[in-house]
Structure 1
C-alpha cells in the first residue's frame, strides 16, 4: 500500500525491503517528490534521504565514511542534531558506541569545514540522522520529515491506547474503505479512525498543519514548496457532513474525539454520540465498521473481556448484516471468543506490539463464508 501511495505522489523505482528484516520501502524522486511525500503520504512514518551505503568492518569504517560526507552543504552548524542507529545482524559490539562515533564524525566534519559544530538535542532536534547496519553494509540517512509523519499537527487529546494516525490510515486502506461509504467506529476513543477518514473524505493533505525538517535544509526551495502546498490545498473540499459515525461508552472519550475533530476543523463532518457498543444499531444498510476494541493491556480486567467479546459478536450478527467489520487487536482472546469466523487475519504492528486486523463479513445467517489465508504485514 505504501509503495502504491508513493508512486501516486511521483516516486519512481519503488521497492520494498523484502528479506532484509527492515520495514518500509525505498524509492527515487526529486525534491518535489520529497515535499509531496511528506505533505501527502497518509501511511509513511518518515521520508529519509539516503546519503551513503557502504561496506564496513569496524567502528572506524563507520566514522570515516560519515566524516567524508559534505555535511556543511546540507545544513547549518547552528542547528541541533540527534543520531539514531538500528541494526540487524551487526557484528559490532555496541550500537551506543556506533551512535557516538557517527555524531563525532558529523561534528568533526563541520568543525573542519567551518570552525563550528552542531549541538546535540535529544528531545527536539532540528536534524535527525539515521544510521542502519546489517551484517556487511552501513547506510546513512538524513531525515527530511522531522517529527514522525503520524504527528499530523492537530490531535490534542488521546484515548486510553490511541493508535498512530498512519496506522489508522493503513487500516482504512486495508479495509477497502472509500470516501462516501458509511464508516462507523463504535469504540472511537480519541477518534483517530474518524479523523483520518474525514481528512481523506475532504482530500485534506495530512501534513498541511505542520512543519518539516527539509524546510531547514540549505538547499530548501521555498518557491517549489509553496507551489506543492498550493496545489494540495486547492484540492481540499469544504467541511460538509460525511457518512462518518463515531461513538464510545465513555463521555470523556467522546469529548476527546470531538476536541480533536474541532482542532482539525472537522467537527461538522463526523456524527458523534455517547453509546454502549452493545446497544447500537447500524447507521446505514451497509458500510464498514472499524474499531480498536479494549484488550487486557488497556482494561486490566480480562474477565470483563470474556463477557464483552461474545456479546459483541452477537450484536454484529444481529444488527450489522450487510456490513464489513474490521477489528484491530493485540488480544489473542478476541478471535477465540467473539464467535465469528474471520475472513482475513492480517498481522500488523502498533509500535513494537504485534496485533491482528480481523475482517468479518456480516451476512444474514451468520458467518459461513470461505476463509482466506493470513496476509503479510503492513509496511511501516
Structure 2
C-alpha cells in the first residue's frame, strides 16, 4: 500500500474527497489545499485519470524529523532513488514549506538535489540531468515545523492541463477550478448551462466533459509512466474503462457567449479541436443582451477583474447593468460569479445566498451565488 498526497485549489477540498472515494482511496485525510490517502497503484492511476479538481498526485518515498538542512540531506540520501527512476531521466526538485524554521528554500532544494545525485553516483556511477522546465521526474519536498516528507510526482504536468485547450486569451481560468465551480453550482447534465462571459471557453469545455462522461486525463500522459514501478497493464485497464464510459457527442444544452468576438472564435477553435463543437451553442453578445436559453438553468461567469487602473470605474458602471439584465430576464435561474472584486454584489444591489472563498492561482476570489427567484426580482415594466 502506497501513501499519497493530492493537491487541489483551496476551497475545493470537499470535492477532492468525493473523487478520491470514487477512486477507492483509503485513509483519506483532508487538509488545506489537498488530502493524503493510501492505495495501490490502480488507485493512483484512477485518481490521475478521473479527478476533475486535483492539481497533482504525489507518491510518498520518504519522511522524517529534522532540526537543520543536513537532516533533510541525510534523509534524502538514504532513499534508493535508482529504484524509483532511471538515471537517463531528467529531474527537478521543488520545496514547499509551512511554518518551517529554515531560512532558505533554495538551499534545501540544492541539498536534496545533491543528495539524489550523490545516491545515483554511488549506485550507478553517474547522475541524472537537471531540467527545471520540462523534467521527466519531479521530486517534491514538503516541510512543516519539524518534519519533512519526500514525494515523487505521479502526475507530471499539472492535472488541470487536460490536453484540450490549445488557445487562450488573457489569464484564463484554470480547468480544475472551473470544474470545481460547476460542482459547487449544483449544475447537472441535462440542465441548461450558460456562460455569458465565456472567454476561451474553460467552463464550456469542462461542462462538456462532465456531460459526456469524459475523464479529464484521457488525452494526456502522466509522470508515473516514467517511474520504475509503472504498471502499463494497470494503466491500460483504467484507460480502456474510461474510453468505454464516454457518451457520443451531441448537443448538451450548454451555451456560451462573449462580447469579444475574438474570445468567441478562440472558444470555438478549442471546442472544435476537442471534437465537441456540436455539444455547445456559441454566440457573440454582450452580457446585457443575452437572452436565457431556457426557463430555468445555471449561469456561471468569471467577470473581468479590475486589475488595471481605470477598470474599476468601468466595472462599477457595468455591474448595475448586469443586475438589471438578470432581474428582467433570468428569473428562475441560479447564477454564480467568480470574482476578486468583493464590491460586486453591493454594486449589483443583489444579495448573494452563498459566498465561497476560492483561489484562482494566488488570487483570492469569492464565488457569489445569486438566486434569481421567479417574480420577486422582476422590475415592474411601466
TM-score scaled by length of structure 1: 0.94
Deviation string, structure 1 residues 170-208 (Cα, Å, up to 9, x no partner):
000011111111100000000000000001100011011
Name the SS for the 1:161 alignment partner: coil
* Pairwise CA distance, 1:304: 1.1
* Pairwise CA distance, 1:303: 1.6
Q: Does 1:184 align with 2:188?
A: no
Partner of 1:363: 373
Q: Is the 8 A contact 2:63 2:75 kept in 1?
A: no
Counterparts of residues 171-320 of structure 1 (less than 5 Å): 171-297=181-307, 301-320=311-330
Partner of 1:371: none
CA distance in 1, matches of 2:310, 2:53: 30
* Pairwise CA distance, 1:367: 5.7
Q: Is the 8 A contact 1:261 1:267 kept in 2?
A: yes
CA distance in 2, matches of 1:353, 1:313: 25
Structure 2 portions without partners, runs of 5+: 1-14
CA distance in 1, matches of 2:181, 2:164: 20
Deviation string, structure 1 residues 43-65 (Cα, Å, up to 9, x no partner):
10000001122110010000000
Quick one: which of 6, 14, 18 aligns to 2:28? 14
Partner of 1:333: 343
Q: Does 1:51 align with 2:58?
A: no
Provide runs of 4+ in structure 1 moved above 6 Å.
none
* Pairwise CA distance, 1:221: 1.1
* Pairwise CA distance, 1:366: 4.0
Q: Does 1:169 align with 2:179?
A: yes
Q: Is the 8 A contact 1:160 1:298 kept in 2?
A: no
Name the SS for the 1:296 alignment partner: coil
Deviation string, structure 1 residues 268-298 (Cα, Å, up to 9, x no partner):
1100010111011110000000000112126
TM-score scaled by length of structure 2: 0.93
Q: Is the 8 A contact 2:64 2:147 kept in 1?
A: yes
Name the SS for the 1:230 alignment partner: helix
* Pairwise CA distance, 1:335: 2.1
* Pairwise CA distance, 1:161: 2.5
Partner of 1:372: none
Deviation string, structure 1 residues 286-335 (Cα, Å, up to 9, x no partner):
00000001121268522211111011011111111110000000012212
Partner of 2:5: none
Count of paired positions: 364
* Pairwise CA distance, 1:13: 1.2
Structure 1 portions without partners, runs of 5+: 369-380
Partner of 1:2: 16
* Cα distance change on mapping 1:274 and 1:198 into 2, 3 Å: same
Q: Is the 8 A contact 1:361 1:367 kept in 2?
A: no
* Cα distance change on mapping 1:192 and 1:258 into 2, 3 Å: same
Q: CA RMSD in A?
A: 1.3
Name the SS for the 2:279 alignment partner: coil
Q: Does 1:71 align with 2:81?
A: yes
CA distance in 2, matches of 1:91, 1:46: 26
CA distance in 2, matches of 1:78, 1:234: 35
CA distance in 1, matches of 2:64, 2:213: 40
Q: Is the 8 A contact 2:303 2:338 kept in 1?
A: yes
Partner of 2:72: 62
